[in-house]
Amino acid sequence: MALKRTGSIGMSDSTTNVPPKYVPPKVWQWEKETESRFANINRPIAGATKEQELPVGKHSLQLYSLATPNGVKVTMLLEELLAKGIEAAEYDAWLINIGDGDQFGSGFVDINPNSKIPALVDHSTPKPTRIFESGAIMLYLAEKFNAFVPMQEPGRAECLSWLFWQIGSAPYLGGGFGHFYAYAPEKWEYPINRFAMEIKRQLDVLDQNLAERRYLCGDEYTIADMAVYSWYGQLVLTGLYESKEFLQVDSYTNLVRWATEIHERPATRRGRKVNRASKSGIAERHDASDLDALEK
């Protein structure tokens, strides 16, 4: 339904608004949510809300995260590096419970002013190095250990293009489609249509690329595959937002073939279990044996 344009500021007519009669005020006001599952998360201001130091374990790499798609892509990479025999990639992974607002603790905000998981601190540098944004963390680790990112052109440009494609595209999947299809208090047709259209377009972009290639950038498995798998692979295989039927994900056969191959990698299986506070995972990881114990 098209919104009628009225007056000079181009605002909509209250008779056609959804919900009916809603007219945006001149100045937006923050009405604190109390009921919603996002009450501890949503706020229009940045910064710490409480003093909360971060724990530090024995390894150089300290990860503060949660097993959401943005968290999983980093633990998948760390487990791949370890599977390659790179011992310096050993890490401690600490749980940041975003539902409880841990991302607004002072220690976490010091390492990520944007208050979102994942965040990493590398203590092997002369002064500890903080890295936030999952794509930046993946690139940092891949470059540090010279693995899973091509160092030569044109492979490098292709890999970074697909990595950044994921970072730019996934907010439409999670923040757009997932939010309105699964989490919003009511089912509104307009945003669900808008974002379903965009997500199907994105799935088709991936499917067409994977019709020609084994992995996203060619024959080599890279950080771009891990990043895209964590969102789009998990969507088509495990049904993020319970939307498999709605989006007809099985019709993207090349994407399903690629996702299945990645899903079955031992490092993927291990990485998906880290910072998962349920029986199927481990809340914290400090040693390879923590995951080994779970696999028995």
**Contact positions vs ligand GSH (CB under 6 A):** 41, 68, 70, 98, 103, 115-117, 133-135, 167
- 53, 64, 137, 160 from 61: Cα distances, Å: 17, 10, 11, 23
Interatomic CA distance for residues 97 and 164, integer angstroms: 26
Shortest spacing between CB 37 and ligand GSH, in angstroms: 12
- Choose between 116 and 265: whose C-beta lies nearer to ligand GSH: 116
Minimum Å distance from CB 70 to ligand GSH? Answer: 4
Whole-number Å distance between alpha carbons of 226 and 233: 9
Shorter beta-carbon distance to ligand GSH: residue 103 or 169: 103
Closer Cβ to ligand GSH, 43 or 213, answer by number: 43
Residues 281/268, Cβ–Cβ less than 8 Å: no
Question: Which of 285-295 are b and which e, b meaning 16 or more Cβ less than 10 Å from the residue's Cβ?
Answer: beeeebbeebe
Give the shortest CB-287-to-ligand GSH separation in angstroms. 25
Smallest distance from the beta carbon of 50 to ligand GSH, in angstroms? Answer: 14
Give the Å distances, CA to CA, from 11 to 2, 3, 37, 194.
Answer: 12, 9, 30, 20
128/60 Cα distance (integer angstroms) = 9
Nearest distance in Å: CB 19, ligand GSH: 25
* Closer to ligand GSH by Cβ: residue 135 or 176: 135
For ligand GSH, the closer CB: 134 or 234: 134
